[in-house]
A and B are shown apart, each in its own frame.
Chain A
Amino acid sequence: MKRLSIPLPQAVLVLALVLFYSLGVSAVAQTPSVKPPDLSGAWGPYGGGRGADPKLAAVPASPIVVKPEYVKAYDAIRAADAEANRRGEPLASASSACIPSGMPSMMAVAIYPIEVIQTPNQVTIVAEAFMQVRRIFLDRPQLPIDEVPPGYFGRSVGHWEGDTLVVDTIGIKTSVQYQRVPHSDQMRITERFRLAAPDVLHDQITIQDPVTLEKPITYTLSYRRLPKYEMVEFVCDNNREFANDKGAVQLKLGGR
């Protein structure tokens, strides 16, 4: 068999071209134009007080406007809550029963930290309160909304838009409510995570629901980095709050 002979300079050129294109193409496919910031670690609420920058603070929710057919029930439950609190007999809730707050409430429970675990294909968020976990897939598309069984954390997919992680979440149980706002199985939550400062993380949350909401609800949570914080466990094995026969929360006294 006769060996195919290629002059050396041409062989080097072909090899160089092959290498250039294979490396170049894979680099384009795998590396976003801007390297995503590293959001990994523990984060606590960025509060007010001394030394706080008002420009980095959380932004309260936009006005909550429910569709006309939901106004009566929404107003009634809020009035009932307020009246029960005035009487000192707060209404029992999922939370007082130690049921996880779910999305989007889990992103801000009192002053409990959250932890972000960031990998190229998935961002995992652990909320310390009630040990809630959500997984944001970066390597696959969202499913049609009717294919996601409703749960507490829903199904989240995300992608990087420059320095911002944009997350789409669907599939939240209608019983899992943000501030008593009614929602349907068509609710969709969009989040935009970005570093507002090197150690300040913002999560801009937008809740849309074509069935129950007249317009989207938007608010921004602000977190400060807690570099040395060690997340603690949260197992509700001593919940002394119970619902009495009037549906109010009462405290069990005298030890377990």
Chain B
Amino acid sequence: MIVNQRVRKYFMAVLAAGMLAAAAIAVAHHSFAMFDTTASVTLTGTVTEFQWTNPHAYIELDVPNSGGGGKQHWSIELGSPSILQQSGWKYKDLKFGDKVTATINPLRTHEPGGLLVQVTLPDGRVLGNGPGRGPAAPAPTPAK
């Protein structure tokens, strides 16, 4: 299932200002301009691969077409393992076959890919895309 929505403008203005301030001194792996950070898409599907790699981690996701029949494959870019670890991720948090719901900033090219905002794991935890991206703090681990 895919849901499109516009992200509230003032939130993006604040985020953009923060990123600009950080960019004044620091450098990053690449510009995020290829993603439309003013738009978000919510995808619910099945993980086909979770790549815990540099310079970025990726979630490969099969998303069933709404209205039944067929599916579309999406590639979702995350931060690097270092960045993700700093916001509570572990490399086995996702695996083949997991059902997840992910919110992404889509590619401006309209190809089926995007930048992760947050993902809800099968155990209910919600993880973001590194400090300052997605949920502010990792959700508490559910009681065993």
Contacts and interface: CB of A to CB of B under 8 A. Distances in A.
Contacts, number: 119
Interface stretch (B3-11, B105-113, B120-128): B105-113
A202 to B, nearest CB: 13
Interface string A86-116: 1111110101101001000100111111000
A111 B73 contact: no
Interface residues of A, number: 47
Interface stretch (A4-12, A163-171, A233-241): A233-241
A111 B130 contact: yes
Contacts of A39: none
Contacts of A89: 33-34, 108
B34 A234 contact: no
Contact of B54 (A60, A84, A236, A254): A236
Nearest to A97: B30
B55 A239 contact: yes
Interface string B85-105: 110000000000000000000
B141 interface: no
Nearest to A91: B31
Contacts of A255: 48-49, 51, 58, 60, 75
B83 interface: yes
Interface string B4-28: 0000000000000000001011111
A134 to B, nearest CB: 16
Given A61-B25, A238-B51, A93 B30 contact: yes
Contacts of A13: none
Contacts of A91: 31
B30 A110 contact: no
Contact of A237 (B26, B31, B54, B112): B54
B34 A90 contact: yes
Interface stretch (A22-30, A140-148, A245-253): A245-253
Nearest to A105: B27
A88 B32 CA distance: 8
> Which of A110, A238, A241 gathers the greatest number of chain B CB atoms within 10 Å?
A110
A76 interface: no
A256 interface: yes
16 contacts: A61-B25, A84-B33, A87-B33, A95-B30, A96-B29, A109-B26, A111-B83, A129-B80, A219-B25, A232-B82, A234-B80, A234-B82, A235-B54, A238-B54, A251-B75, A253-B112
Given A58-B25, A237-B54, 18 more contacts: A61-B24, A86-B33, A88-B108, A95-B28, A96-B31, A98-B29, A105-B27, A109-B27, A219-B25, A233-B54, A238-B51, A238-B53, A249-B34, A251-B34, A251-B107, A254-B60, A254-B73, A255-B48
The 6 closest A-B pairs by CB, nearest first: A90-B31, A88-B108, A238-B53, A85-B33, A96-B30, A108-B26
